[in-house]
Structure formats: C-alpha cells, structure tokens
Structure 1
Amino acid sequence: MADAFDYVTQYVHQACGEESVCAHAGDIRHCEITRHPKYADFRASAIMVKGEGKPPRLWESMVALGRIHDMRDDDKWRMIVLDCVMASLHGRSIRISRELYVDLSDVRSDMFEAALTTWTETVHGVAPRHVPTLMRKMAIRTAYQRATDQTRETVIERPEDFLETEDLPESPSLKASAIIHGADPQDPAVAEQIRGERNGALFHKHNCLDAATRFHDDLRAGRRPEVTSRAAKAPMLTRSNLFGPSHYYYLSDFFPSFIGMPAAAEAPGIAESTAYQMVRKGTFPCPHTRMGRSLKVPVPPLMHYMSIPDAIVHPDDVENGAAHASGLLNLIG
C-alpha cells in the first residue's frame, strides 16, 4: 500500500514529467547553466547519504526555489525538496518500524509531517544550506518520539492535502489617481485601471517605455504564453473594453527574473559586504540561488520585501498611463 513517501514521489514525478529540471532558476529559459538533468538523475544527485556532511550547493538553490514558489502558491519545489529529503529516510523509517513495532506507513507519515513543519518554521533566520539537514533530523526525532509514546494524532493520507500557504498581507487601499476622475476606486475594474496607468506613468518617468512596448508586443503576438496564462486567471479581470482580455501580466514579469547580489543589496540600501554576511548567516531578507559561482536574487521576492506590489496590469492601461504622463492625451484632447 502506498504511503506518504510514495505519494510525494508520485506527485513530484507528475509535476516534473519528462522535462529537464533547473535548480538554479527554476526555468531553463532563465538559467545561465546549459546542462540540466531529468528529474530522476537530479533526484539521485540531491539525496543526502545518511545526512552526512554539509548539503551541497545544489540544496541551497533548491531551498531558495522552494521559498520563491511558495510565495506564488506553487508547491512544486517545496515538494521536490521533501521528496529528496524523504528519499534519504527510507532505511531509517524501516528500522524504526521494525524496532518499535509501529506500522511503516505511520512512521513515514510522521516523518513527512515533521519535515514539512520544519520547512515552515525555518523560513526566517536559517540559512538555506542548513534547512534540509534540520528537516531530516526533525523527521527522525519525531518518528522515534511518536513511535515510543504511541500518541499519534495525524495520519497523512495525501501529503499535498496537508500543504497550505499563508496569505500575504493585502496591499493598502488604492486612492484615485489624477488620471481617472469621478470614478469609484473601490470598483475592481477602476482599481485595476489605476494600477496599470500608474505603472505606465512610472515607465515613462524612468525612460523604459520602449522596453515595455516591446514586451507588450510580445504578449499581443502570443510569444509569451507562460506570462499571460498565469496572470489572466484572476477573477476580477472581466473588463470588456480591453483589446485582448488575455494580455494581462504581473508587473514582475516585465523585469529580469533574477538580478545579481550587488544590485539586489543596493535596492533596499544594504551594503554589499553586509549582504554576503547575511547570506552566510541565513538572514538576508530574500531567497537567493546560485548560478555557477554567482549568487542571484529573484525579483518578485525582492519587490515583496520592498513593499512594491506585484500588480496584475494590462498593456492598454500601462500605455494609457504613459501617454497621459507624456502629455500626449492632453494634446489629443
């Protein structure tokens, strides 16, 4: 009969399919490394042998990707981390079951639950390289304790049902902009338009409207389906007067997916040397991953740390806002 370990493995194999796995950027299209293995080979290289020694740098990137994807309610990389941790516990789970006369599926459920709890509790203040070892140690300790005192409270039938993500705090209420007059900013359609036009005005201010226009052209031509398919799922996106209702995108999609540590430290005003010290201590405020010898920081978590909303916007609104900021609409009027 399948147990928690089996369900985790099945879930991950289904999520990864036959595609190559990138533990540096999460997407081979954004990665500077050219060779990427299939998941079976990747898993074999990631499994810790009896938890001995320091986890490789691969684990540091895996944990960072797990944190990044958690922020977008995507549990794929969290489950990959769990699968690789659980794979190192097969022998130990069998030993506990035999020595203490406890059902193997119960032992493995306890281990999974403890590892997942440790994952959640180490979001802050623990360096990513230490997280897998802590997950493994807590899984073993919890399995022994529960098998000894026989005080089981939870048997996890399907691990994915146990996975929950905390809601991020909502952004402050929007106020009417100078672009829209006499409209109710509490109306979702109006609030959506305000967000897009404000960002268009910022694009104009920072002289990056040409890049935004090229990006919009790609969206409208269908060259970025992975962007629009994700952003257009929001329930409030129902305005009928837009050209191409499926062309929505997250603001972070316009920017590079990853930036170097010097730029990531400069944005919130952290000295570069201090940033590297924080990385070693596990206190840097954003997840980070390694590409070769370089540390990279994903843009969406950096935006979140700096309280920059990763808004869903539409190209029409962004371009209208830029045109208003440039004075073009006044000339037309």
Structure 2
Amino acid sequence: MGALIVADAFDYVMQYVSRACGEEPICVHAGDSKRCEITRHPKYGAFRASATMIKGQPKPSRLWESMVAMGRLHDMRGNDKWRMIVLDCVMASLHGRSVRISRDLYVDLSDVRSDMFEAGLTIWTETVQGVPPRDVPVLMRKAAIRAAYQRATDQTRETVIERPEDFLETADTPELPGLKPSSIIHNTDPRDPAVAEQIRGERNGALFHKHNCMDAATRFHDDLRAGRRPDVISRASNAPMLARSSLLGSSHYYYISDFFPSFIGISAAAEALGITESAAYQMVRKGTFPCPHTRMGRSLKVHVPPLMHYMNIPDAIVHPDDVENGAAHASGLTKQWRVPRPLY
C-alpha cells in the first residue's frame, strides 16, 4: 500500500482558490474581465505561474501591486477570494523551503505549512496601511519562513490550521458605515425598514439635484427600466434586506456606485480627496494612499466604491422612483416626477 498523503494548509489554500476561480479567465485589473480595459486574461493556473515568486522576489512588481489592491478591495466587501489568491501565490514559492525545514529540523510538514500560512495571513492584516503593495508579499514570505523555524524551538506550540477558509472567516474586515435617516418623509417612523429604504433613495435624489447630475441619473434609470443594465439589476436585486422587494419594479433597485464609473484615474481621485496629483502619486509610492488602486496597462486606476467609503459616502441600494421623487422634492416642484409608490 502506498503512503497516506494528508492534505496540509498549502493544499487547502490551493483547493479553495481553484474552486473560487473555476475555469473563467481571472482579471487582476478590474476583478471582472468583462469590465476591464485589458482584452486578454489567463485562467488561474497560468496566472498563478506568472505571479509565483522566485527566490522571494515578486515578478513583476506591478502584477503584485494589482493583486494586493484586489485583495484589499475584496476584504472591504467581506470576500476572501483575492486574499486567498495572494496567500496561494506566496505559499507556492515556499513548497520546497517548507520540505527542507521539515526534513532538517524534524518537524511535521503539515505543522510547518500551517505556521507559514498563519504568519502570512497575520502580515496581510498588519500591512493594510503604510506599506507599499509591492512590499507586502515579500514581508509575508519572510514572516512565513521565520514562523516555520520558530516551530523547531517551540515544540509546545501545537496549533494546526486544517481549513484556512475557516480561519479567514474570523478575520476582521472593515464595514461600510450605516446610513442615517433624514427628514424628507414627514410623519413617518424612520425606524421602519420600508420608510428607511425610501428615505435613502430620496436623500440621494436630493444630492443628485444639488450637484446638477439628475439628468444623467434619469438616463441611467431609463436604461434600468428598459432592461439595458442586467448586471446592475441582478446585483442589487439579490441583496438582502430590501424591505419593499415584493413591489412591482423591485428589479430596478441599484447601488449608488453603479451610477458612477467603476474606476477613475489617479488625478480625478486626487481631486475628489482634495489633494494634488503629485501628492497622490507620492502616497501611492509610500503605500499610504487611502484607497486600493490597480494598473490597467500603463494607467493607474482607483476603484470608486472604496473611494466612496473613505469619503463617508454610503453605497446605498436605492430605487429610481425614490431618487426621482427626492430630486423633485429638492427642486421645489409641487408635482413629483412620478407617483410615489405605497410603502406596503
């Protein structure tokens, strides 16, 4: 009989990522190859081979910048996919090293790899701010090697992570701030979920009117109602806690971020943040830029939802009717653009 092969932390990470990525092309630029400006994308196996470090050095560094940015972005959404991709590509460079440490120091290989995984994940969490993205994988790899050698000098430590995804579920991820109700709707209880939902839409409609972008919002709403934006409709309609989801037209719900472009250039992001473009590039080099950024070809792009989060702009789910009623209210019209729907 052959020797029994027991899966370790490295195997679980690779299996988890393989399931998450499937056979679809993987996009490190926009997270979705259909929305990316780059036309060609590899499947995960080829992507992993190109990203795996040789002798501890990421190759190429711009690829790792985008990988880390995608990981930070998905962390904000409570999604582990890209964090695990980063870990898998880092751990892939440690297969041979882990075997040598296990053999030379008489330590169980599964223990060595579990320690490496846990140390890498710890560094990922500790380097959210103040560390340039290209430096993160190198720090993760060094910490993993230190942790493996520490196992040999601390035999009392017996923690083995058999399912890395279970460990990841306990990691802290930032949450988007809640939306405070306003007083646009009078004589109602803002604690009622249906009322709060309508208030969200009307408040954003008032903001659209204030910033003179209601015409563009109306065109966007027309596209939703005509079924020309199925990607937006499916994403918002599947979101939980829609108090009025049983109403006619519930499929027209959308996230505020869907109205804006998915990515903007670094100069536009700097303007939104109130800093100069040169200061923004300097922050990117130092790893202190407050939002995840990625490269598309030679261009540096900033993802809009994290930028909204940093600027305390809630990415609320709204309905076009509510938004248009809020704009009409803010403009002082006595006749609303659309007849308001009943709350129940």
Deviates more, 1:206-215 or 1:5-14: 206-215
Query: Does the aligned pair in 2 maintain the 1:285–1:305 contact within 8 Å?
Result: yes
1: distance between equivalents of 2:334 and 2:272? 33
Query: Does the aligned pair in 2 maintain the 1:93–1:108 contact within 8 Å?
Result: yes
Aligned match of 1:285: 290
Secondary structure of the 2:273 match is: coil
1: distance between equivalents of 2:47 and 2:119? 24
Query: TM-score scaled to structure 2, two decimals?
Result: 0.90
Aligned match of 1:199: 204
Aligned match of 2:56: 51
5 Å-filtered alignment, 1:19-168, equals 19-52=24-57, 56-163=61-168, 164-168=171-175
Gaps of 5+ in 1: none
Q: Aligned to 1:321, which of 322, 326, 335?
A: 326
Alpha-carbon distance, 1:204 to partner: 2.6
Listed one character per residue, the Cα deviations across residues 208-267 of structure 1 (whole Å, up to 9, x for unaligned) are 233323333343444444433333344421316743223322211111111000010111
Deviates more, 1:254-263 or 1:145-154: 145-154
1: distance between equivalents of 2:217 and 2:157? 55
Query: Does the aligned pair in 2 maintain the 1:176–1:183 contact within 8 Å?
Result: no
Query: Does the aligned pair in 2 maintain the 1:114–1:142 contact within 8 Å?
Result: yes
Alpha-carbon distance, 1:100 to partner: 1.2
Whether 1:13 aligns to 2:22 is: no
Q: Aligned to 1:190, which of 164, 188, 195?
A: 195
Q: Name the count of aligned residue pairs.
A: 331
Query: Does the aligned pair in 2 maintain the 1:55–1:130 contact within 8 Å?
Result: no
Aligned match of 2:262: 257
Runs of 4+ in 1 over 4 A off after TM superposition: none
Aligned match of 2:237: 232
Query: Does the aligned pair in 2 maintain the 1:176–1:184 contact within 8 Å?
Result: no
Alpha-carbon distance, 1:310 to partner: 1.1
Listed one character per residue, the Cα deviations across residues 280-300 of structure 1 (whole Å, up to 9, x for unaligned) are 111111111111111110001
1: distance between equivalents of 2:257 and 2:191? 24
Gaps of 5+ in 2: 1-5, 340-344
Output the aligned Cα RMSD.
Answer: 2.1
1: distance between equivalents of 2:181 and 2:326? 16
2: distance between equivalents of 1:199 and 1:147? 58
2: distance between equivalents of 1:104 and 1:240? 52
Query: TM-score scaled to structure 1, two decimals?
Result: 0.93
Secondary structure of the 1:330 match is: coil
1: distance between equivalents of 2:336 and 2:148? 72
Query: Does the aligned pair in 1 maintain the 2:193–2:243 contact within 8 Å?
Result: no
Percent identity of equivalent pairs: 79
Query: Does the aligned pair in 1 maintain the 2:305–2:315 contact within 8 Å?
Result: yes
Query: Does the aligned pair in 1 maintain the 2:329–2:336 contact within 8 Å?
Result: no
2: distance between equivalents of 1:240 and 1:79? 34
Alpha-carbon distance, 1:77 to partner: 0.9
Aligned match of 2:3: none
Aligned match of 1:208: 213
1: distance between equivalents of 2:21 and 2:246? 38
